[in-house]
Amino acid sequence: IINMSSLDLQGKRVLIREDLNVPVSNGVVTSDARLRASLPTIKLALEKGAAVMVMSHLGRPTEGEYNSEFSLQPVVDYLAKALDCPVRLATDYLDGVEANVGEVVVFENVRFNLGEKKNDAALSKKLAALCDVYVMDAFGTAHRAQASTHGVGLYAPIACAGPLLAGELEALGKAMDNPARPLVAIVGGSKVSTKLTVLESLSGIVDQLVVGGGIANTFIAAAGHEVGKSLYEADLIDEAKRLVANAQSRGAAIPVPTDVVVASEFSPTATATLKAVDAVTSDDMIFDIGPDSAEALAEILKNAGTIVWNGPVGVFEFDQFGEGTKRIAQAIAESAAFSIAGGGDTLAAVDKYGIADKVSYISTGGGAFLEFLEGKELPAVAMLESRSE
Ligand code: 3PG
């Protein structure tokens, strides 16, 4: 893959696809991790003397129509403060846009364009015609074959990867392609069903697969324990058993907690009660792992060579159910392993427990991160590969 860093961009029209899809509330960006991650790429293009254009989607608006709720204006306001140059939003850009060296023109939400999501060729060609060099830097959207992430790259004079995308691929490749072992993955979250494919592929690769949250409850039930009123998926118990057997057949393990924290209601003021996993009753709801289980996992993480983390192990938004996730975060911070964290909830936990600078790499990907872990080829990356031949 061609990397933007190695190109001469002096006086060139450079169109960078970033993933600036961040949460916005009342016109203000509320989590800027993705924006911070994209700044070095934009700055590098400016330093190289390019006329810089940046495009992204934000949210999931109805395609083909403007909707102020999904405008990139709050992102433009953020970038204008973070960059030392003029930054402006362009709403009509498809038929031509003026971009000058030394400024940044941000295209309004690409999902307002009809044909974006179906990777329409005519739309892709219009975007390609606006630039001399197309830079795909949106790792978080690299699993989408859409006009701004894929089609445009087929028609632009040059298509290359930006430093953020290249860095993500390198870090994730280091964790998954030839990892220092033991390789430990932590997959938390509410449902087995949404993460079944990633659990499936990880159970065939990792040495330990730590499951958490509602996912763990399904595995606890599969191990024959009562889970009471906990969130779990009865129809996936057989699937969970198969994954455990799959891991065990290779000498790997999917450990289930030995103790859990339960409550009788889901609320910020619910009383937390610690129980052995075989003492859970029909009225209980499991919201976290207990201290013995957390210690056992911390020991596994301490000895790991590589750690991949996606998803908390408890309802850490409520402090009384956050101890398990906190202990895991601390263990990752203390471990000498190469560690990667990705996904919105995981990054919120990383921030809450203050371990951001102790994780080896923090990915900007959610869905793209999971698809990479599944071993799937990301369409935008495949496009860049085809353009570098
Ligand atoms: C994400 O947040 O995962 C990416 O920005 C992709 O967004 P999408 O799922 O709406 O395509």
34 is in an annotated binding site: yes
| pLDDT recorded at residue 237 | 96
Long-range contacts of 345-350 (CB under 8 A, 24+ apart): 345/188, 345/189, 345/311, 345/312, 346/188, 346/309, 346/310, 346/311, 346/312, 347/31, 347/33, 348/31, 349/312, 349/316, 349/325
Judge whether 362 lies within some domain.
no
Query: Would you state the pLDDT for residue 190?
Result: 84
Q: Whose CA is nearest to atom 6 of ligand 1?
A: 141
Say if residue 389's pLDDT is above 90.
Answer: no
Q: Is residue 278 part of a domain?
A: yes
CB atoms inside a 10 Å sphere around CB 151: 25
CA of 249 to the centre of ligand 1 (A): 35
Which residue, chain included where needed, has tokens 């204006």? 73
Which pLDDT score, from 0 to 100, does residue 199 have? 95
- 306 forms beta bridges with 183, 338
Residues 88 and 113 in one domain: yes
Cβ-Cβ contacts under 8 Å for 264 (sequence gap 6 or more): 270, 271, 283, 284, 285
Catalytic positions = 34, 191, 344, 367
pLDDT digits (tens, 9 = 90+) for 38-59: 999 999 999 999 999 999 999 9
From 21, 38, 75, give the residue whose CB has the most ligand 1 atoms within 8 Å, as the site to mutate: 21
CB-based burial, 316-333: b 16+ in 10 Å, e otherwise = bebebbbbbbbbbbbbbb
β strands within 176-320, DSSP E: 183-187, 208-211, 259-263, 273-276, 285-289, 306-310
Q: Cα 139 to the chain's mean position, in Å?
A: 9
Indicate if the pLDDT at residue 309 is higher than 90. yes
Tell me the whole-structure pTM to 2 decimals. 0.93
Tell me: do 24 and 149 sit in the same domain: yes
Per the annotation, does 60 bind a ligand? yes
Sheet holding 133-136, edge to edge: 87-90, 104-107, 51-55, 13-17, 133-136, 158-161
Closest Cα partner for 148 from 4, 37, 16, 7?
Answer: 16
Same domain, 55 and 121: yes
Nearest CA to ligand 1 atom 9: 367
Give the integer Cα–Cα distance in Å for 76 and 389: 35
Find out whether 374 is annotated in a ligand binding site: no
Q: What's the gap in Å between 109 CA and the centre of ligand 1?
A: 13
367, part of any domain: no
109 and 194 assigned to the same domain: no
Q: Within this chain, do residues 136 and 84 fall inside the same structural domain, yes or no?
A: yes
Task: Report how far apart, in Å, the C-alpha atoms of 143 and of each of 7, 165, 216, 377, 389 are.
Answer: 25, 12, 27, 8, 21
Q: Which helix (H) or strand (E) holds 240?
A: helix 237-249
Question: Does 196 reside within a domain?
Answer: yes
One-letter amino acid at 166 equals: A
Pairing of strands 285-289, 306-310: unpaired
Q: What CA–CA distance (Å, rounded) separates 228 from 220?
A: 11
The ligand 1 atom at the shortest distance from the C-alpha of residue 365 is 3
Does the pLDDT of residue 385 top 90, yes or no?
Answer: yes
pLDDT score of 344 more than 90: no
Mean pLDDT score across all residues of the chain: 96
Task: Indicate whether 344 belongs to any domain.
Answer: no
Asked if residue 217 and residue 70 are part of one domain, the reply reads no
Residues 244 and 305 reside in one and the same domain: yes
Domain co-membership, 207 together with 82: no
Cα 19 to ligand 1 centre (Å): 8
Q: What is the pLDDT of residue 175?
A: 95
Kindly state the average pLDDT of the residues 97-115.
97
Q: How confident is the model at residue 37 (pLDDT cuts 50, 70, 90)?
A: very high
Report the pocket of ligand 1 as residue ranges, CB < 6 Å. 19, 21, 60, 140-141, 144, 366-367
Edge-to-edge strands of the sheet including 285-289? Answer: 273-276, 259-263, 285-289
Which structural domain, as residue segments, surrounds residue 12?
4-165+378-387
Q: Is 284 inside any structural domain?
A: yes
Its sign, for the CA torsion 311, 315, 318, 324, is negative
Q: With 90 as the cut, is the pLDDT of residue 225 above it?
A: yes
Q: Is residue 345 part of a domain?
A: no
Is 284 labelled as part of a ligand binding site? no
DSSP reduced 3-state for 83? coil
- Same domain, yes or no: 251 and 275: yes
Work out how many domains the chain is built from and give that number. 2
d(CA 370, ligand 1 centre) in Å: 12
The DSSP H or E segment spanning 222 is helix 213-222
Cβ-Cβ contacts under 8 Å for 256 (sequence gap 6 or more): 211, 216, 219, 220, 223, 225, 277
Cα–Cα dist 116/296, whole Å: 47
Q: What pLDDT, on a 0 to 100 scale, did the predictor assign at position 191?
A: 82
Percent of residues, the chain, with pLDDT higher than 70: 100
Residues 149 and 243 in one domain: no
Residue 343 known to bind ligand? yes
CB 134 within 8 A of CB 128: yes
pLDDT tens per residue across span 68-87 = 999 999 999 999 999 989 99
CB 15 within 8 A of CB 56: no
Q: Tell me, in angstroms, the distance from the centre of ligand 1 to residue 116's CA.
A: 13
Q: What is the pLDDT of residue 19?
A: 98
Token digits of residue 265? 């209601």
Query: Does residue 193 share a domain with residue 160?
Result: no
Query: Is 77 labeled as ligand-binding?
Result: no
Ligand 1 centroid from CA 140, angstroms: 7
| Atom number of ligand 1 nearest to Cα 368 | 3
The answer to whether residue 355 is domain-embedded is: no
The pLDDT-based confidence of 189 (bands split at 50, 70, 90) is confident
Atom of ligand 1 nearest to the CA of 59: 10
CATH of the domain at 199: 3.40.50.1260
Mean pLDDT over residues 116-128, rounded? 98
Examine the domain organization and report whether 123 and 92 are in the same domain. yes
pLDDT given for residue 180 in this prediction: 97
